[in-house]
Structure 1
Amino acid sequence: MNPATHRSQRIVVGIDGSDYSTGTLQTAADLSAALNLPLVAISCWSRSDIYFAAQIPVGGFPEADLLEREATRLVDDAVERAFGPERPSGMSIGIRYGHPGQILVEESANARFLILGRRGRGGFLGLRLGSVSAACVAHAHCPVVVVNGPE
């Protein structure tokens, strides 16, 4: 795969608000600065990430805008932990609805690099590679950088 053939020259980083997000964001920002490419932090949300069938609140799911605001807050918190009040220049944030693996693979079609944490918010902490990272490594349209994080 030749990264130079990609239509968009940007770095995409997947953010889920986990502790891994801090180091992943910092690594992505370093690569973005070194290559002089814009950085796009993508966070994904879906109702299935938040509720299991037995936990559906009386009256149904919360409004989509409430869930999207929560996803935005998670990203803002991760950016604050990674950089303090000074966000890297050229950095933008995208909040997308859907399964993170699928969304990030789609985003990789217009990226020079896709950067992910080794694990995220999933519950299988014994895994060496999280399910989203594994899906992206297998299916991304650009090179994938997997950042090791806190144990």
Structure 2
Amino acid sequence: MDAPSQQRILVGIDGSDSSKEALRAGDRIARALGVPLAALMFWEGPPVYEGWGTVDPDRPPAGSVELLRSTVADVFGADPPEHVRAELLHGRAAARLVEESGNALMLVLGRRGHGGLRGSALGSVSNACIDHAHCPVLVVRH
């Protein structure tokens, strides 16, 4: 895999409508600047309990790859543009997005994803990224 480039737009996605709007906004920015777009989705390994069967903590949960593909396809169709790369990465979304933001022009996020409290203005991932990202953060309102 190529080394990350600071000349890219990152978009955090989770399959929510809000993350799809963020992906659309990130694409407009990437096209305008002529840079690649990385759509990043994250998964966390399940806790491993001795005696409960065999669990591979390094394998994404069933359906994760399909959720990534379908989220990208909902925005771009079955054949995404060449400048778009989708990745499924291991780790907590907020921490990994902050880490990845060190190699980006901008981080684009939806206002809120699938989790959290419905009444709050921003989701926990958006809040963490606004506070700690190493690049500008755009939060797209849906």
Contact 1:8–1:110 under 8 Å retained in 2: yes
Kindly provide the CA deviation profile for residues 47-70 of structure 1, in whole angstroms up to 9, marking residues without a partner as x. Answer: 46xx8xxxx8x8257534251x52
The change in CA–CA distance for 1:60 and 1:20 in structure 2 (over 3 A counts) is farther
**Structure 2: which 5+ residue stretches go unaligned?**
none
Given candidates 99, 104, 127, the residue that maps to 1:106 is 99
Kindly provide the CA deviation profile for residues 94-146 of structure 1, in whole angstroms up to 9, marking residues without a partner as x. Answer: 21111100000000000000000000011311111000000000000000000
The alpha carbon displacement at 1:45 in A equals: 0.6
Across the two proteins, how many residue pairs are aligned to each other? Answer: 136
Given candidates 44, 68, 74, the residue that maps to 1:46 is 44
Q: When the two structures are superposed, what TM-score results if normalisation uses the length of structure 2? A: 0.86
Are residue 11 (structure 1) and residue 40 (structure 2) matched? no
Counterpart residue type for residue 22 of structure 2: T
Contact 2:9–2:104 under 8 Å retained in 1: yes
Are residue 126 (structure 1) and residue 124 (structure 2) matched? no
Q: Tell me the residue number matched to 1:74.
A: 67
SS at match of 1:41: strand
The change in CA–CA distance for 1:61 and 1:108 in structure 2 (over 3 A counts) is farther
Counterpart residue type for residue 132 of structure 1: V
Given candidates 128, 131, 135, the residue that maps to 1:135 is 128
**For residues 77 and 18 of structure 1, what CA distance do their matches in structure 2 show?**
11
Are residue 65 (structure 1) and residue 46 (structure 2) matched? no
Are residue 31 (structure 1) and residue 29 (structure 2) matched? yes
Report runs of 4+ in structure 1 exceeding 6 Å deviation: none
SS at match of 1:13: strand
Q: Tell me the residue number matched to 1:116.
A: 109
RMSD: 2.2
Q: Tell me the residue number matched to 2:85.
A: 92
**Structure whose residues are more often helix by fraction:** 1
Contact 1:29–1:88 under 8 Å retained in 2: no
Are residue 144 (structure 1) and residue 137 (structure 2) matched? yes
